[in-house]
Amino acid sequence: MEYKLIPLYREQERYTLFYDQENNHFYKFQHRNKSFAVFFLVMLAIIYGSKFLDSIYQEYQSTLPNIILIIIGLGITYYVSKKFYRSYYLTETKQEIILDKYNLKKYAIKGMKQFRIEFYSSIASLPIGIIFFIIFLSQAR
């Protein structure tokens, strides 16, 4: 998928409208269907992987391993997020669409509402993440 596309509006789990600044066009991309089996397997891997890593972590618990684990965790999170984002949209369904003023305004208003909800929820989760981060580091002995 091209990285110069700006998401404008997302229709639930069906499609997303993007704006291409370079070519001044709007595109529609379908979303991939989510698989419950994949979600279930990932949850099992996290649960059993956490148990395994916890047994190792408890032996070497101190500040340096905590910092190393945080850096590794951030790297893994970044990698998985990029992979998920790239695979979420069906790039072969890319289709150019033409929007009149009325529909463009409607999608822009709905898109701004979606953006506000996502923005404020990320702002609200920031202090929670910081609190858990501090608790994690303070547990080092």
Identify whether 15 is part of a domain. Answer: yes
CB distance 42 to 31 below 8 Å: no
Give 30's DSSP letter.
Answer: E
Under DSSP, the state recorded for 8 is E
Alpha helices in 17-100 (DSSP H): 36-59, 63-88
Q: What local confidence, expressed as pLDDT, does residue 121 receive?
A: 93
**pLDDT at position 75, please?**
92
Domain tally for the chain? 1
Q: Is residue 75 part of a domain?
A: yes
Residue 93 lies in a domain: yes
Find the domain containing 100 and state its range: 5-35+62-138
Residue 132 counted as domain residue: yes
Can you tell me which residue has the tokens 């984002």?
85
Q: Is residue 66 part of a domain?
A: yes
With 90 as the cut, is the pLDDT of residue 23 above it? Answer: no
30-81 pLDDT, tens digit per residue, is 888 777 787 788 888 888 887 777 777 777 767 777 778 788 888 998 998 8
Structural domain contains residue 90: yes
Instruction: State mean pLDDT over 131-141.
Output: 74
Pairing between β-strand 89-97 and β-strand 25-31 as defined by DSSP bridges = antiparallel
Would you say residue 45 lies in a domain?
Answer: no
For residue 70, tell me if it sits in a domain: yes
